[in-house]
Structure 1
Amino acid sequence: MIQSASEHDTPPLEENEYLPARMINEFTYCPRLFYLEHVEGLFAHNADTIEGVAKHGRVDRKTDPLPKAKGKKNVARRSAVGTAPGPSPAETESDTPEPTTEALEKIHARSVTLGSERYCVLAKLDLIEAQGEQATPVDYKRGSPKKLDDGSLGAWDPERVQLCVQALVLRENGYQCDEGVLFFWETRQRVRIAIDDELVAMTQQAITDARATIAKRQLPPPLVDSPKCPRCSLVSICLPDETTFCTQSVLEDSGLPVQSYLFDIGLRFERNTALRAAPPRAVRQMVTARDERRPLYLNTQGYSIGISSEVLQVKEKGKVVQKIRLNDVSHVNLFGAVQVSTQAIQVLLQKEIPLIYFSFGGWFHGMTQPVGLKNIMWRREQFRMADRPAFCLRLARQLVIGKIRNQRTLLMRNHVEPPQEALRFLKALVGEAERAKSLNELLGFEGLAARTYFENFAGMIKVQKS
């Protein structure tokens, strides 16, 4: 399910906005992933992210305060909830001797959020192991450690950079931090990472480059043939292979810059005579993911819908007649006098499941839908593309062609005696729609197909004998 990334990190649009350490990890892993999540506000779960959320849920279950560091008077802000307070002048000027290392209390603080004004970053630390002024961040990861050439255990650059951000934040908040620890759930192993000058320089450069990427307001190109892509949760949004294939196949011989938006390919194709005259190239077919959810239709008058533990309860005269899990529902269709509780509506909207209202006879009245996409840049792009007749015609062609093909398929599969003449006519209309030069012409072909389909619709209704 695609959703806004607000539950993870609110996308910053100002230069002085704080970048979360997790986003620096994403940028090091893939700048395009960083841009999609942080700037465009997109996020989609997969099995790996869901497992990671579950693992971190155990870690975040308890939140501990982090004692103040005596080595710094003014501590950088933590987050919206505040920062670790700095010592008072009386404490800093005290002549009391410092306790020995053995006498210092060992501290384990969980789920601590700290900020750095110098780097404008925020870091939520899963665990801080501290003793005196020495602090070690511990970051939990769901996978397994990287095996180095010498057989020892290490970590990938995104993990090391995220840990270094946490170390830099701790340093600015008055602590000494010379190393960090990565704990891997899969193997139950701890890997120590030295916070040396080389890693600090890499991290500082990643922060600078991430801010530069935000300032450009242009989606970075996808990775090419990268092993990172198959396990990425945003691969179905990013479309790395499809974007690379389409941009290179259309533009590589034209001298035009390769763009990272598929929409831009069509616009440049319209404006370039040489591209339009070139023979079309075959584009590989995409295999889209199957949506296992199904629409729910309720047309029995007097039904009421409630909600209990993410299960829709359909009632008639107060008696439950059916239960449907929310995970199995794509949208809810209500015909006539069917009532829905406010609680059910709110949960449906939280799950991004729209409700569609019809009259008893099936006339569409309206719909209640979630906020949906909050990305203003995508909204602007949608309206901009809608003002381009050539793009609208291309899009409308594909919609009408798909509709006619679907009508023909339904007749072939479900008609008692499939009408051959109607099937041939619908097949011919597909070709006409592909060559349509205007929306009005396309509308005519769509109408002819609809008339042919409904003239033969009765043959698909099979009466069952009692």
Structure 2
Amino acid sequence: MSAVRYTDGELLALSGIQHFCFCQRQWALIHVERQWEENLWTAEGHLVHKRVDDPFFTESRGDIIISRAFPLVSYALGLYGIADVVEYIRSEDGVSLPDHEGLWVMRPVEYKRGKPKIDERDEVQLCAQAMCLEEMFGIYVDRGDFYYNEIRRRVPLQLSDALRNRVYALSEEMHDLFKKGVTPPAGTSRKCNLCSLQNVCMPKLTKKGLSVRKYVRKHVKEACVEDG
């Protein structure tokens, strides 16, 4: 475990680790520069989460207790946020709960709009949620679950040491960039077409390293040519 400990004033949004893993520039535009734009995918994502984000709703299903919109924090990672769902599952390896008999293990469940990704951006987010639970309650969480709306089923995730180390590394990089107030330069790729911040990021402009003056001059010249 990392020896770094963060204060309340240094905590960053846990949800940002997914953005950071996908694209560091996207994360900086949202979390450092406070820029955001909606697109079809982000709007659908909000609708999916709206169905589960009720912090006052808890239900029991036999040997499972479901708690929604569960507040999370980790001072080792320097992250805070909300888990869509935390399930308490009756188990001899678990811990006791107030007003409930028996022992229970905790498992975070993250709801996603689409389908499983080819990269680990979803995985680091869910793992970070589990690591928050571990720090908050002094427990061990061996796995979490995704519910992907597009395929309408759950996908389990085993929380390996390698994945936990990846989360630590990403959180440290996030804090370093945030402290410096740095927005990394853009690099174009196929994933740019899926990004809601493409119009803000302007990857083709920033990748080429053009100055704003040259960019404006180029487009004024093109406009003059079109006007005849």
Assess if the C-alpha contact under 8 Å between 1:181 and 1:192 holds in 2: yes
Identical-pair percentage = 30
Assess if the C-alpha contact under 8 Å between 2:88 and 2:105 holds in 1: yes
Which residue identity lines up with residue 34 of structure 2 in the other structure?
A: G
Q: Which residue of 2 aligns with 1:157?
A: 120
- Residues 284-333 of structure 1: CA distance to partner in whole angstroms, max 9, x if unpaired? xxxxxxxxxxxxxxxxxxxxxxxxxxxxxxxxxxxxxxxxxxxxxxxxxx
Q: Aligned residue pairs: how many?
A: 206
The separation in 2 between residues aligned to 1:400 and 1:186, in whole angstroms, is 44
Q: Secondary structure at the match of 2:50?
A: helix
Q: Which residue of 2 aligns with 1:139?
A: 110
Q: Which residue of 1 aligns with 2:35?
A: 42
Larger Rg computed on CA atoms: 1
Moved segments of 4+, more than 4 Å:
397-403
The separation in 2 between residues aligned to 1:114 and 1:189, in whole angstroms, is 25
State TM-score, norm by structure 1. 0.40
Q: Which residue of 1 aligns with 2:20?
A: 27
The separation in 2 between residues aligned to 1:55 and 1:197, in whole angstroms, is 30
Structure 1: where are the runs of 5+ without partners?
Answer: 1-13, 67-103, 147-154, 251-261, 267-282, 284-394, 410-426, 428-466
Q: Secondary structure at the match of 1:45?
A: coil
Which residue identity lines up with residue 209 of structure 1 in the other structure?
A: E
Q: Which residue of 1 aligns with 2:68?
A: 110
Q: Which residue of 2 aligns with 1:52?
A: 45
Q: Secondary structure at the match of 2:87?
A: strand
1:173 to 136, 139, 158: 136
Q: Which residue of 2 aligns with 1:119?
A: 77
The answer to whether residue 196 in structure 2 is matched with residue 233 in structure 1 is yes
Q: Secondary structure at the match of 1:228?
A: helix
State the shift of 1:15 in Å.
9.2
Q: Secondary structure at the match of 1:126?
A: strand
Q: 1:156 to 1:401 in 2, by over 3 A?
A: closer
State the shift of 1:62 in Å.
5.6
The separation in 2 between residues aligned to 1:230 and 1:398, in whole angstroms, is 24
The separation in 1 between residues aligned to 2:18 and 2:219, in whole angstroms, is 40
Which residue identity lines up with residue 139 of structure 1 in the other structure?
A: E
Assess if the C-alpha contact under 8 Å between 2:187 and 2:203 holds in 1: yes
Which residue identity lines up with residue 171 of structure 1 in the other structure?
A: E
Assess if the C-alpha contact under 8 Å between 1:15 and 1:211 holds in 2: no
Which residue identity lines up with residue 164 of structure 1 in the other structure?
A: C
Q: Which has the higher contact order (CA 8 A, sep 6+)?
A: 2
Matches within 5 A, 1:282-301: none
State the shift of 1:18 in Å.
1.2
The answer to whether residue 172 in structure 2 is matched with residue 208 in structure 1 is yes
The separation in 2 between residues aligned to 1:110 and 1:130, in whole angstroms, is 11
The separation in 2 between residues aligned to 1:173 and 1:64, in whole angstroms, is 21
Assess if the C-alpha contact under 8 Å between 1:180 and 1:195 holds in 2: yes
Q: 1:398 to 1:240 in 2, by over 3 A?
A: closer
State the shift of 1:164 in Å.
0.7
Q: 1:400 to 1:123 in 2, by over 3 A?
A: closer
The separation in 1 between residues aligned to 2:108 and 2:12, in whole angstroms, is 18
State the shift of 1:218 in Å.
2.5
State the shift of 1:217 in Å.
2.2
State TM-score, norm by structure 2. 0.79
1:219 to 176, 180, 183: 183
Matches within 5 A, 1:387-426: none
Assess if the C-alpha contact under 8 Å between 2:110 and 2:147 holds in 1: yes
The structure whose residues are more often strand, as a share, is 2
Q: Secondary structure at the match of 2:85?
A: strand
Q: Which residue of 1 aligns with 2:157?
A: 193
Q: Secondary structure at the match of 1:42?
A: coil
The separation in 1 between residues aligned to 2:220 and 2:114, in whole angstroms, is 46
What RMSD, in angstroms, separates the aligned Cα atoms of the two structures?
3.0
State the shift of 1:39 in Å.
0.4
Assess if the C-alpha contact under 8 Å between 1:111 and 1:124 holds in 2: yes
